[in-house]
Structure 1
Amino acid sequence: MSHDNLLIDDQDGVRTLTINRPDKLNALNRQTLLELFQAITQAHGDDQVRVIVLTGSGEKAFVAGADIGEIRDQSAVQARAFSAMGQNLMAIIQNLDKPVIAAINGFALGGGMELALACHLRIASDKARLGLPEIKLGIMPGFGGTQRLLRLVGTTRALEMSLTGEPIDAERAREMGIVNRVVTPDALKAEVMQLATQLAGSAPEAVSGILQAVNQGADTDLNTALALETARFALCCSTEDMREGTSAFLEKRQPEFQGR
């Protein structure tokens, strides 16, 4: 499937999706949202893909936001549909049973920060800037930013970032728990691929179980979440990968997981 605004690359079980609108700082218009939806859905259904990396083309931006030119001319009805479209994509990414890593190579603002927040892990260049500047345009985040940021950093910090619209640098984002790691621009690709390749070599049932338990457990009561953990633990113990992993440990060798 061809895409106008995405570049797709496969390497060792890792599929990298690069948003390719450098002249627009990789802004998310409807076409790009649709292409991301199609690419994520395709990667989800491909057993050869174990991990997905999202990044932006060029050195300036991961995604600098939603496409303001499209937003400006929308009616309230069209804006509601656009918001729902973005929120649907973000929910699909967050709930995917394969790890999604954001490689934040520059500005991650507005819809770009919301896209990064939907990913499971985030590694940023030390040149990156993250923020929700929508209030400066007379609007507010519409792709889930208020809710995911709230759950990640708490009410006080989420309100400060959303109400002031001021971006923060990558190191401050790491201190707040928004990004996992900060590296130099030259080291970003290698750092992301090292992590992605490590995860791609893990047992898929264990990976998907952890993702589901953490994502769903965060929004439910403890007893329900523990019951989900137990169920997914049992599924892991029914796999050949479990037998391979435990045997490799006892035999003092590296496991070779096959996804069975």
Structure 2
Amino acid sequence: MAAAAALGGLGLGLLRARLRLAAAAAATSAALCRTGHRTPPLRGGVAAAAALPSAGRSYGSQAKEEEELRVRYLDDEHKGIVVLGLNRSHAKNALSKNLVKMISKAVDALKSDKKVRTVVFRSEVPGIFCAGADLKERAKMHSSEVSSFVSRARATINELANLPVPTIAAIDGTALGGGLELALACDIRVAASSAKMGLVETKLAIIPGAGGTQRLPRTIGVSLAKELIFSARIVDGEEAKSIGLISHVVEQNEAGDAAYRRALALAREFLPQGPVAMRVAKLAINQGMEVDLVTGLAIEEACYAQTIPTKDRIEGLLAFKEKRPPRYKGE
């Protein structure tokens, strides 16, 4: 009887594992279809490496200015990098209904643009990244409007997190509440040592509503995230680096854009890599972190399979053989 029960338990375990794998494969296939790639049979392997670009100092760009959000497509050696700049100086870049709408519109356009290789999120206002929600606007809202706004803000931040290309937050000033939640939605965060960061706008608003209670623990650990949220503590760039909240900390310069310049340098390191490989690598990491290792490996296998039939993979192998920089086209 005990043996039969054990066998039954083993069979149930295998069935559950198969169901997890099937669900993971289906989710990965759906996500890959959204990026415009078909899902061939699962295979394994490692993508070809690409050469690094030459150094350069040009920051020239063709700017498209919006009232509260600037969207810039950089050129020359920074071609492929898009900068989203918060530009609401009179309100310390606080997230109003209009600004959230504009961010959502910009992100929606970027996610289907195959020429975009990396997105840098920054502030155009010296000394501030984002002060969080616009509490003056919120005070005039009906309670039903507040719920709707927070849902819209959360959805917009999720859209930013789900962009298929790498995203970098350049934090050159204070990032509070929704401002830090915006930064947490980016893949990588760079901050000036003087920058101040915390998940609350005021000590009366201790419950982040746009994903902070979920993304912060996944970034710095559950216990420390609880401590920061419960205490409403604000940390500077140095402490943020020590607890893993940011990846890089830099001394602020006279122009007040040291984090932005470091973010640009980091983004340039991504440019020579295969666009398709970069997209599926991000997808594999994001989905894999939410499941067990076996399912995560199946997701990785499905994602790698997307690179096999692409022209980019063939170009990467050819460039490696000919000892030259690859000329990727994102296909």
What range describes the TM-score normalised by the shorter chain of this pair? over 0.9
Which residue of 1 is the match for residue 285 of structure 2?
214
Relative distance call for 1:72 and 1:137 in structure 2 (3 A) is farther
The partner residue of 2:314 within 199, 222, 243 is 243
Secondary structure of the 1:9 match is strand
Amino acid aligned to 1:145: G
Which residue of 1 is the match for residue 196 of structure 2?
129
Which residue of 1 is the match for residue 80 of structure 2?
13
Shift of 1:3: 2.9
Shift of 1:71: 2.2
Report the RMSD for the aligned CA atoms in angstroms.
1.7
Distance in structure 2 (CA, Å) of the matches to 1:126 and 1:120: 19
Shift of 1:101: 0.9
The 8 Å contact of residues 27 and 64 in structure 1, kept in 2 or not, is answered as yes
Amino acid aligned to 1:223: V
* TM-score, normalised via structure 1 length: 0.94
Distance in structure 1 (CA, Å) of the matches to 2:87 and 2:97: 14
Distance in structure 2 (CA, Å) of the matches to 1:105 and 1:218: 29
Secondary structure of the 1:54 match is strand
Moved over 4 A (4+): none
Q: Does 1:84 align with 2:155?
A: no
Shift of 1:95: 1.2
Give structure 1 stretches of 5+ with no counterpart: none
By relative contact order (CA 8 Å, sep 6+), the higher-ranking structure is 2
Show the 5 A alignment for 1:171-190. Answer: 171-186=238-253, 187-190=258-261
* TM-score, normalised via structure 2 length: 0.75
Amino acid aligned to 1:57: E
Secondary structure of the 2:306 match is helix
Secondary structure of the 1:10 match is strand
The 8 Å contact of residues 272 and 326 in structure 2, kept in 1 or not, is answered as no
Secondary structure of the 1:137 match is coil
Q: Does 1:96 align with 2:163?
A: yes
Percent identical: 36
Deviations 1:169-228 (A, max 9, x none): 111111111111111233333221122122233211111111111111111222222111
Shift of 1:35: 0.1
Figure out how many residues of one structure are paired with residues of the other and give that number. 260
Distance in structure 2 (CA, Å) of the matches to 1:51 and 1:180: 17
Q: Does 1:229 align with 2:229?
A: no
When you count helix as a share of all residues, which structure comes out higher? Answer: 1
Amino acid aligned to 2:153: G
Relative distance call for 1:2 and 1:183 in structure 2 (3 A) is closer
Show the 5 A alignment for 1:68-83. Answer: 68-83=135-150
Secondary structure of the 1:47 match is coil
Amino acid aligned to 2:322: E
Amino acid aligned to 1:87: R
Shift of 1:36: 0.2
